[in-house]
Amino acid sequence: MSERVVADGERRRRRPTKRGTVLSEGLIVETALRLIGEHGAAALTVRRLGTALGADPSALYRYFQDTDDLLLAVADELIGRTLRVWRPSGDWRADLRSLGLRIHADYQAHPRAAVLTCTRVTGRAHEMRSVETILKILRGAGFPDAEAVRIYHVFVDQTLAFAALDATVLTLSEQSRALEERTWRERYAALGADTHPHVAATAPVLVAEMGRSAYPAALEMMLAAAAARLRHVGA
């Protein structure tokens, strides 16, 4: 989709598609998210989206300037899905934990979309609400503003980095994923104590650990560090 600007009046005009479906921004985003899950980045063409929607491809320009504009809307929708189900408890540490795990899980549910969107700043409603929500949690816990922003930055980047990393693993073929699992189980576990004493000593734990995401553990370490900083600034 090349860059093309359409007047607001035209952008908001709703017309039924060839199938009788009324186009909307939400419907286009939902369709794009589904197609990305099936085809990856290749899904983001006006021709493919138009075919899936039963609409003339040019109709998409009434809602999005180009495919990057649409991708940002998809990214914001993933954030919105987290916010629709997540509820705060009032305990800052528990709230960041549950929010981080929820974000990570929602991205894993859409791994190809996660790979495409985790690094993007949408500047849209759901993202703005998420920034406000996390800063409210941290400032409400008693973190000074500079500390609240710093911890917000670490929390978000850590969560999205793991979301992208783990989503990338999920996009591998079953054969590639099975090969990685066998490599840890068969090659590393078979290393001898004479050449690799520390690997050999920890092999059962290492094999089990490397088969799952490190995000929950990394999140706990980050929260423990944040709690220590809060005790320091409050001393």
**Domain ranges, ordered by start, for the chain:** 8-65, 91-234
Q: pLDDT, tens digit, for every residue of 145-200?
A: 999 999 999 999 999 999 999 999 999 999 999 999 999 999 999 999 999 999 99
CATH topology of domain 8-65: Arc Repressor Mutant, subunit A (1.10.10)
Q: pLDDT, tens digit, for every residue of 8-56?
A: 444 444 556 555 568 999 999 999 999 999 999 888 899 999 999 999 9
Structure tokens that stand for 70 in this block = 């649409």
Q: What is the CATH number of domain 91-234?
A: 1.10.357.10
91-234 matches 8-65 in CATH topology? no
SS in 3 state form for 18-70? Answer: CCCCECCHHHHHHHHHHHHHHHHHHHCCHHHHHHHHCCCHHHHHHCCCCHHHH
CB atoms inside a 10 Å sphere around CB 191: 15
Greatest C-alpha distance within the chain: 74
